[in-house]
């Protein structure tokens, strides 16, 4: 996002009105450095350990969600991770000025995998550890577990020979997935009291709120 702001400043350097608008946008985006809870992370006790991690030491659970106000419109994603002892090891979120809900759902999953990859490398852990990524998006879970294989066989084309929507994100998610041989994608029902899913939704909507302030 910082790179995009820099490019906008270069492009509109002689337009005072545009520069003023860009500076306002930059200020709003900078507020995303603050946490939805004023920097205080949620207690690990608020997030029960998923059953898939029970009796699986050195396994990890990832959670992601996306949100969009208008479709297309401004959107955001939230992601978090837990280790096999239930400790929250990361929480991340981000925004996009003009996007779609499906793209943000994909982006949340992508960021979750990027962060866990960095975490495993930093802590000298194998990328072969069991990983479980939970999403409330059937689009994401069905896509990566079922649709992508067929698209790839057809040269990244759907059965009707059309290019899949959000191709760049699908290819990125597919590439990242191959870094983790024991990765499983699991669907959870959204807005149904699932604590980690609700937390990701909260982070995404917090990020969107900052654009409106």
Q: Are 135 and 55 found together in one domain?
A: yes
Which residues does the annotation mark as catalytic? 65-66, 105, 136, 191, 201
Report the alpha-carbon distance of residue 35 to residue 93 in Å, rounded: 10
What's the total number of domains in the chain? 2
Task: Quickly state the pLDDT bin for 191 (edges 50, 70, 90).
Answer: confident
**Segments forming the whole domain that contains residue 79:** 47-212
Find the mean pLDDT for residues 104-113.
98
**Residue 40 is assigned to a structural domain of this protein:** no
pTM summary value: 0.81
**Residue 184 is assigned to a structural domain of this protein:** yes
pLDDT tens string 32-68: 444 454 344 455 668 999 999 999 999 999 999 999 9
- pLDDT of 5 above 70: no
Q: Are 61 and 26 found together in one domain?
A: no
Q: What angle do CA 60, 61, 66 make, to 5 degrees?
A: 145
Q: What is the DSSP string of 41-64?
A: PPPGGGSPPPGGGTT-TT-EEEEE
Q: Are 116 and 185 found together in one domain?
A: yes
pLDDT tens string 110-144: 999 999 999 999 999 999 999 999 999 999 999 99
- pLDDT of 96 above 70: yes
Q: Are 87 and 27 found together in one domain?
A: no
CATH number for the domain including 84?
3.30.420.10
Q: What is the CA radius of gyration of the chain?
A: 18
Q: Are 80 and 183 found together in one domain?
A: yes
Three-state secondary-structure class, residue 70: coil
pLDDT tens string 10-23: 666 566 566 556 55
Which pLDDT score is estimated for 41? 46
Q: How many CB atoms sit inside 10 A of residue 86's CB? A: 15
Q: Are 90 and 11 found together in one domain?
A: no
Which pLDDT score is estimated for 211? 78
Q: Are 71 and 136 found together in one domain?
A: yes
Q: Are 12 and 78 found together in one domain?
A: no
């Amino acid at each position: 996002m910082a790179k995009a702001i820099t490019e906008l400043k270069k492009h509109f350097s002689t337009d005072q009105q545009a520069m003023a608008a860009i500076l306002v946008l930059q200020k709003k985006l900078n507020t995303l450095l603050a946490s939805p809870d004023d920097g205080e992370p949620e207690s690990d006790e608020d997030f029960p350990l998923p059953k898939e991690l029970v009796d699986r030491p050195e396994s990890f659970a990832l959670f992601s969600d996306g949100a969009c106000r208008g479709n297309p419109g401004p959107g955001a994603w939230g992601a978090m991770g837990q280790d096999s002892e239930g400790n929250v090891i990361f929480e991340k979120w981000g925004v996009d000025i003009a996007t779609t809900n499906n793209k943000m759902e994909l982006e949340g999953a992508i960021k979750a995998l990027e962060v866990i990859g960095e975490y495993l490398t930093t802590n000298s852990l194998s990328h072969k550890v069991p990983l479980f990524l939970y999403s409330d998006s059937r689009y994401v879970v069905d896509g990566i577990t079922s649709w992508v294989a067929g698209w790839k066989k057809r040269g990244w084309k759907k059965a009707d020979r059309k290019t899949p929507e959000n191709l760049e994100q699908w290819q990125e998610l597919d590439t990242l997935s191959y870094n983790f041989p024991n990765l499983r994608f699991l669907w959870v029902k959204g807005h149904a009291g699932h604590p980690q899913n609700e937390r990701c939704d909260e982070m995404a909507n917090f990020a969107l709120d900052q654009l409106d302030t």
